Amino acid sequence: MNIDKLFDDNAGLIDLFGRLLLAAIFVLTGFHQIPDFAGTQEFMVSKGVPGILLIVVIGLEIVGGIALIIGWKTRTFAFLLAGYCLLAALLFHTDFANEQQYYSFLKNLGMAGGLLLLTAKGAGSVSLDARSKA
């Protein structure tokens, strides 16, 4: 069995599954922040970030995550979410003495890396982006 052929033959589905996995954290986190809006704002303000930006954050997480899943304007949203991951890592997860924060920092860097690859590559064949080019 030629593993490269298997991957090539299923690239569209692999792209879709990868986008779904990358997007899940954003969609779930975005919706999770709504019930505790005030608490999340308070945390942001404690880190020197204006609390009003939480509206933008929730919007980007939910809309951007859904856009990744369906493959709509994928490169744009992947780039925005990569920037968001880098900012979140630098603003909220730099207490490296705290093991949880250290791993959250690394997770955000890894997510940004995957999103930058998606920015460069695009959504793949199983996406609204691909349908709009056809």
**CA-to-CA separations, 42 to 2, 34, 76, 117, 132, in angstroms, rounded:** 54, 13, 29, 33, 42
Show Cβ contacts of residue 25 under 8 Å, excluding neighbours closer than 6 positions: 65, 111
Per-residue pLDDT of the chain (134 residues; tens, 9 = 90+): 799 999 999 999 999 999 999 999 999 999 999 999 999 999 999 999 999 999 999 999 999 999 999 999 999 999 999 999 999 999 999 999 999 999 999 999 999 999 999 999 999 999 999 999 87
Contact status, residue 88 vs residue 108, Cβ threshold 8 Å:
yes
The DSSP call for residue 78 is H
Tell me the C-alpha distance between 81 and 60, whole Å. Answer: 7
Task: For residue range 4-15, list pLDDT tens digits in order.
Answer: 999 999 999 999
- What's this model's pTM, rounded to 2 decimal places? 0.94
Per-residue model confidence (pLDDT) at position 133: 84
- Of the CA atoms within 13 Å of residue 11, those in its CB half-sphere come to 9
